[in-house]
Structure 1
Amino acid sequence: MRLSTYDVKCGAEDLADGTRATVASITSKQHPREYHHLFPASLLEEAGVPDGQISRALNCALITWRTNRTISNKDPITYLKERASSGSLGADELRRCLRTHLIPYEQLAVG
């Protein structure tokens, strides 16, 4: 199953605003959802991770273009703290949102 198919079928949510992935949001011509590397490609490249491992589905989440620009290439610990302390979602809602992507918060939060 493709990541985009899973995200639509299971209702994966954006990491900032909680909007659910839909066929329309993924295929939008104006602002389609984008693949976000949970651990930034630049960080993994510096650590010597092979290119073929960096863009695997386990390191990606489909999120809105706006959220992707906000997170950019920040370390997961940094952006999770920012998201958890922001007024938009909060820590509990962020954990729940990450689960919609099958992302284990505890493992991501400690690197």
Structure 2
Amino acid sequence: MRLVLAALLTMTAGLNAAHAATQQQCEALLKPVEEKVAGFQKMRGDKPTPQDCARSSELIKLYTSYQKQADGMNCAFAYVGGQKIGGASERADLLADIKQAHNEKCR
């Protein structure tokens, strides 16, 4: 029984490692989102323009798509010195914050 359990644990660990994306794959997936954020940064003042709100909506859609892919690839939220920092829960928190800011300013 111990041999079977050890074999199952080894197989599971191998499968998890096979599904984990590399840092480069995860960073490449994030690049379009970073470019969109860099072009937008944040809404201007308390009264954003309709164009600001439209760009914010686009950012939410783009980040939602990224979030699903990154979660599926088990990407870290960030890499600092090659070390994984956070993951799916941090992406979910960030998306919730982005949506809340959008709703407060654009609705």
Which structure has the greater CA radius of gyration? Answer: 2
* Same fold at TM > 0.5: no
- The structure carrying a bigger helix percent of its residues is 2
- TM-score of the superposition, structure 1-length normalised? 0.27
- TM-score of the superposition, structure 2-length normalised? 0.28
